[in-house]
Protein backbone atom coordinates (compact mmCIF):
# COMPACT_ATOMS: atom_id res chain seq x y z
CA UNK A 1 0.00 0.00 0.00
CA UNK A 2 2.86 2.37 0.84
CA UNK A 3 4.46 1.72 -2.56
CA UNK A 4 1.15 2.41 -4.30
CA UNK A 5 0.73 5.69 -2.38
CA UNK A 6 4.32 6.75 -3.14
CA UNK A 7 3.89 5.89 -6.83
CA UNK A 8 0.62 7.83 -7.00
CA UNK A 9 2.19 10.87 -5.33
CA UNK A 10 5.13 10.78 -7.73
CA UNK A 11 2.75 10.54 -10.71
CA UNK A 12 0.71 13.54 -9.51
CA UNK A 13 3.86 15.61 -9.04
CA UNK A 14 5.17 14.64 -12.46
CA UNK A 15 1.85 15.46 -14.12
CA UNK A 16 1.75 18.82 -12.36
CA UNK A 17 5.25 19.66 -13.51
CA UNK A 18 4.59 18.54 -17.08
CA UNK A 19 1.47 20.69 -17.32
CA UNK A 20 3.42 23.69 -16.03
CA UNK A 21 1.54 24.10 -12.77
CA UNK A 22 3.28 27.10 -11.31
CA UNK A 23 2.44 30.32 -9.60
CA UNK A 24 1.59 33.21 -11.93
CA UNK A 25 4.74 35.00 -13.08
CA UNK A 26 6.97 32.01 -12.25
CA UNK A 27 8.25 29.42 -14.63
CA UNK A 28 7.76 25.78 -13.91
CA UNK A 29 10.83 23.79 -13.01
CA UNK A 30 11.56 20.26 -14.08
CA UNK A 31 10.50 17.82 -11.40
CA UNK A 32 13.11 16.49 -9.06
CA UNK A 33 14.02 12.92 -9.88
CA UNK A 34 11.72 10.52 -8.10
CA UNK A 35 13.25 8.44 -5.38
CA UNK A 36 13.98 4.90 -6.48
CA UNK A 37 11.28 2.47 -5.44
CA UNK A 38 11.83 0.67 -2.17
CA UNK A 39 13.20 -2.82 -2.70
CA UNK A 40 10.56 -5.46 -2.31
CA UNK A 41 10.50 -7.94 0.52
CA UNK A 42 11.10 -10.62 -2.11
CA UNK A 43 14.79 -9.76 -2.55
CA UNK A 44 15.38 -9.49 1.20
CA UNK A 45 16.73 -5.94 1.14
CA UNK A 46 15.35 -2.97 2.98
CA UNK A 47 15.39 0.57 1.68
CA UNK A 48 17.87 2.76 3.55
CA UNK A 49 16.32 5.33 5.87
CA UNK A 50 15.91 8.79 4.37
CA UNK A 51 19.24 10.60 4.07
CA UNK A 52 21.29 7.41 4.19
CA UNK A 53 23.10 5.99 1.20
CA UNK A 54 22.60 2.40 0.15
CA UNK A 55 25.20 -0.34 0.06
CA UNK A 56 25.45 -0.02 -3.73
CA UNK A 57 25.84 3.76 -3.57
CA UNK A 58 28.64 3.39 -0.99
CA UNK A 59 30.46 0.89 -3.18
CA UNK A 60 30.10 3.20 -6.21
CA UNK A 61 31.59 6.09 -4.19
CA UNK A 62 34.59 3.96 -3.16
CA UNK A 63 35.18 2.63 -6.67
CA UNK A 64 35.02 6.13 -8.16
CA UNK A 65 37.44 7.54 -5.57
CA UNK A 66 39.89 4.71 -6.24
CA UNK A 67 39.44 5.06 -10.04
CA UNK A 68 38.62 1.34 -10.22
CA UNK A 69 36.10 0.08 -12.79
CA UNK A 70 33.45 -2.10 -11.14
CA UNK A 71 34.39 -5.00 -13.42
CA UNK A 72 37.95 -4.99 -11.99
CA UNK A 73 36.80 -5.43 -8.37
CA UNK A 74 36.41 -8.87 -6.80
CA UNK A 75 36.13 -10.29 -3.27
CA UNK A 76 33.92 -7.28 -2.57
CA UNK A 77 32.74 -6.95 1.02
CA UNK A 78 30.39 -4.15 2.13
CA UNK A 79 29.20 -4.17 5.74
CA UNK A 80 27.52 -1.68 8.07
CA UNK A 81 29.86 -0.58 10.84
CA UNK A 82 30.69 2.45 12.94
CA UNK A 83 33.80 4.39 13.89
CA UNK A 84 34.15 7.37 16.24
CA UNK A 85 30.38 7.43 16.61
CA UNK A 86 29.84 7.67 12.84
CA UNK A 87 27.60 5.00 11.26
CA UNK A 88 29.33 3.90 8.07
CA UNK A 89 29.77 1.35 5.34
CA UNK A 90 33.03 -0.58 5.62
CA UNK A 91 34.06 -1.52 2.07
CA UNK A 92 36.84 -3.86 1.03
CA UNK A 93 37.69 -5.12 -2.44
CA UNK A 94 40.59 -6.46 -4.43
CA UNK A 95 41.79 -6.00 -8.00
CA UNK A 96 44.62 -7.64 -9.91
CA UNK A 97 46.62 -4.50 -9.19
CA UNK A 98 45.86 -3.77 -5.52
CA UNK A 99 43.81 -4.08 -2.33
CA UNK A 100 41.37 -1.38 -1.22
CA UNK A 101 39.64 -0.49 2.05
CA UNK A 102 37.16 2.39 2.46
CA UNK A 103 34.88 3.76 5.16
CA UNK A 104 31.94 5.73 3.78
CA UNK A 105 29.51 7.57 6.08
CA UNK A 106 25.94 6.30 5.82
CA UNK A 107 24.68 9.86 6.04
CA UNK A 108 25.66 11.74 2.90
CA UNK A 109 28.27 9.31 1.53
CA UNK A 110 31.39 11.15 2.69
CA UNK A 111 34.58 9.06 2.66
CA UNK A 112 35.89 9.13 6.24
CA UNK A 113 38.64 6.58 5.80
CA UNK A 114 40.56 5.02 2.94
CA UNK A 115 43.63 2.88 2.53
CA UNK A 116 44.95 1.27 -0.62
CA UNK A 117 48.11 0.32 -2.46
CA UNK A 118 48.56 -0.43 -6.14
CA UNK A 119 51.34 -2.88 -7.00
CA UNK A 120 54.27 -1.04 -8.60
CA UNK A 121 54.42 -3.51 -11.50
CA UNK A 122 50.97 -2.35 -12.64
CA UNK A 123 51.74 1.37 -12.90
CA UNK A 124 52.72 1.31 -16.58
CA UNK A 125 49.84 -1.06 -17.48
CA UNK A 126 47.27 1.25 -15.87
CA UNK A 127 48.32 4.04 -18.20
CA UNK A 128 48.29 7.74 -17.65
CA UNK A 129 50.53 10.64 -18.56
CA UNK A 130 53.54 12.24 -16.89
CA UNK A 131 52.55 14.90 -14.35
CA UNK A 132 54.29 17.91 -12.88
CA UNK A 133 54.23 18.74 -9.16
CA UNK A 134 51.41 21.25 -9.76
CA UNK A 135 49.39 18.67 -11.70
CA UNK A 136 50.00 16.16 -8.88
CA UNK A 137 48.50 18.66 -6.43
CA UNK A 138 45.46 19.14 -8.70
CA UNK A 139 44.93 15.35 -8.86
CA UNK A 140 45.10 15.15 -5.09
CA UNK A 141 42.61 18.01 -4.71
CA UNK A 142 40.15 16.16 -6.97
CA UNK A 143 40.24 13.18 -4.59
CA UNK A 144 40.33 15.13 -1.32
CA UNK A 145 37.43 17.56 -0.77
CA UNK A 146 38.39 20.63 1.24
CA UNK A 147 42.12 20.50 0.47
CA UNK A 148 43.66 23.65 -0.99
CA UNK A 149 46.89 23.53 -3.07
CA UNK A 150 48.72 25.45 -0.32
CA UNK A 151 47.74 22.75 2.21
CA UNK A 152 49.63 20.03 0.34
CA UNK A 153 53.18 19.13 1.42
CA UNK A 154 54.71 17.51 -1.66
CA UNK A 155 58.23 16.19 -2.19
CA UNK A 156 59.95 14.40 -5.05
CA UNK A 157 61.54 11.01 -4.43
CA UNK A 158 63.83 9.20 -6.87
CA UNK A 159 64.47 5.90 -5.11
CA UNK A 160 64.28 2.74 -7.26
CA UNK A 161 64.99 4.79 -10.41
CA UNK A 162 61.45 6.08 -10.82
CA UNK A 163 60.29 9.61 -9.98
CA UNK A 164 57.39 9.74 -7.57
CA UNK A 165 55.67 12.39 -5.49
CA UNK A 166 55.11 11.73 -1.81
CA UNK A 167 53.17 13.96 0.49
CA UNK A 168 50.42 14.72 2.87
CA UNK A 169 47.62 17.21 3.19
CA UNK A 170 44.91 18.20 5.62
CA UNK A 171 41.52 19.64 4.80
CA UNK A 172 37.83 19.09 5.37
CA UNK A 173 38.53 17.43 8.71
CA UNK A 174 40.68 14.75 7.05
CA UNK A 175 44.38 13.92 6.86
CA UNK A 176 45.69 12.42 3.62
CA UNK A 177 49.00 10.69 2.89
CA UNK A 178 49.91 9.56 -0.60
CA UNK A 179 52.48 8.41 -3.12
CA UNK A 180 51.96 9.18 -6.80
CA UNK A 181 53.85 7.89 -9.82
CA UNK A 182 55.12 10.92 -11.75
CA UNK A 183 55.25 8.99 -15.04
CA UNK A 184 51.55 8.08 -14.99
CA UNK A 185 49.83 10.35 -12.44
CA UNK A 186 48.49 7.23 -10.67
CA UNK A 187 48.18 7.47 -6.88
CA UNK A 188 49.46 4.07 -5.88
CA UNK A 189 49.55 4.48 -2.11
CA UNK A 190 46.68 6.34 -0.44
CA UNK A 191 45.63 6.81 3.15
CA UNK A 192 42.81 9.06 4.39
CA UNK A 193 41.67 9.37 8.00
CA UNK A 194 39.50 11.68 10.06
CA UNK A 195 41.62 14.18 12.00
CA UNK A 196 41.15 14.14 15.73
Per DSSP, the residues of the chain read -HHHHHHHHHHHHHHHHHTT---TTSPPPPPPPPPPPPPPGGGT--PPPTTBPPHHHHHHHHHHHHT--GGG-EEEEEEEEEETTEEEEEEEEEETTEEEEEEEETBTT-EEEEEEEE-GGGHHHH------HHHHHHHHHHHSTT--GGGEEEEEE-GGGS-EEEEEEEETTEEEEEEEETTT--EEEEEEEE--
pLDDT at residue 84, as a whole number: 82
pLDDT at residue 47, as a whole number: 53
Q: pLDDT 10s per residue in the chain (196 long)?
A: 334 333 333 333 333 333 333 333 322 323 333 333 333 333 344 555 668 999 999 999 999 999 999 999 999 999 999 988 889 999 999 999 999 999 999 999 999 999 999 988 888 777 788 999 999 999 999 999 899 999 999 999 987 778 999 999 999 999 999 999 999 899 999 999 988 6
Nearest Cα residue to 125 out of 188, 191, 189: 188
pTM greater than the 0.75 cutoff = no
pLDDT at residue 128, as a whole number: 80
pLDDT at residue 162, as a whole number: 85
pLDDT at residue 196, as a whole number: 63
Amino acid sequence: MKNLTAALAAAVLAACALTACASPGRTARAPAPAAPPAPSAQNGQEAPPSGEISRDEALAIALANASVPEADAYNVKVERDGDNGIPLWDIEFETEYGDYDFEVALSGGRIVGADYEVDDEWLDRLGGSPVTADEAKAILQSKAPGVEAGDIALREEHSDGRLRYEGEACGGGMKYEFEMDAATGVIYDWNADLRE
